[in-house]
Structure 1
Amino acid sequence: MSNVTVINPNDFEQEVSAHKGTVLVDFFAQWCGPCKMIAPILDQLSTENDEIKIVKVDADEAQDLMVKFGIRGIPTLLLFKDGELAATKVGALSFTDLKAFVA
């Protein structure tokens, strides 16, 4: 069962910025083909690695966050460690590449 949670932009501070540990944030859209392709890969990672919290943010509802983090394309993955942005990837990744990105 997937441990990926969809959060709204108002919960970003609490769910991501204030979280102690690693959080992977997927900025996605319902209409985005590559976003749909990466969704099962994120689900798989969430079941195999319980040390990483994975959340999804609907880009269409999060324009302020998109501007804040300079996101111009989706899917965009942001990796946070103890509330600090550590890395960014744009585009769909394979499972192997995703595991290497969060390592």
Structure 2
Amino acid sequence: MATTALTAQNFEQTLTGNELVLVDFWATWCGPCKAFGPVYEKASEANPDIVFAKVDIDQNQELASAADIKAVPTLMIAKKGQIIFKQAGALRGSDLDDLISQAKSLDLDAAKAQSENSIKA
């Protein structure tokens, strides 16, 4: 599956309208972004059940600012509209695959319940 370009107009709807969304915040001038691009593309082809999106921070500065992007590349993962991961830095293919596996298996309801219980304690 090819990656989807996100803008301020379709960002929120894409995150809330899909089960699992990976977003790569990148820039054309960024060397690590260029290295991560093929790794991200390969993962998108191996996981057609996930939305793989990209945000060009130079073309979408307000969106990058609203998402609090401080460095590129930054990978953000949203599950059922909830941001569950955000980290700057290029990943190796094996690390990205592991992250995708963890995101797929994460039970949001159980994690939320556990978080609420730890807050009460």
Report the residue type matching 1:97 in the other structure. Answer: D
Segments of 5+ residues of structure 2 without an aligned counterpart are 102-121
Paired position in structure 2 for 1:93 = 91
Moved over 3 A (4+): none
Report the residue type matching 1:38 in the other structure. Answer: F
How far residue 14 of structure 1 moved from its aligned partner, in angstroms, is 1.8
Higher relative contact order (CA 8 A, sep 6+): 1
3-state secondary structure, aligned to 2:91: coil
Pairing of 1:69-88 with structure 2 (within 5 A): 69-88=67-86
Paired position in structure 1 for 2:104 = none
3-state secondary structure, aligned to 1:54: strand
Tell me the C-alpha RMSD between the 2 structures.
1.3
For 1:55-102, what per-residue CA distance to the aligned partner results, in whole angstroms no more than 9, with x for missing partners?
A: 001111222222222210000000000111000121110000111122
User: Contact 1:9–1:57 (CA<8 Å) still a contact in 2?
Assistant: no
For 1:11-54, what per-residue CA distance to the aligned partner results, in whole angstroms no more than 9, with x for missing partners?
A: 112222x2230000000111111111111111110111112110
Is residue 2:37 matched to residue 1:39?
A: yes
Q: Normalized per residue, which structure has more strand?
A: 1
User: Contact 1:9–1:61 (CA<8 Å) still a contact in 2?
Assistant: no
Tell me the percent identity: 37
Pairing of 1:1-40 with structure 2 (within 5 A): 2-16=1-15, 18-40=16-38
Could you tell me the TM-score, scaled by structure 1's length?
Answer: 0.89
User: Contact 1:37–1:92 (CA<8 Å) still a contact in 2?
Assistant: yes
Q: Distance in 2 between matches of 1:23 and 1:94?
A: 19
Structure ID, larger Rg: 2
Paired position in structure 2 for 1:64 = 62
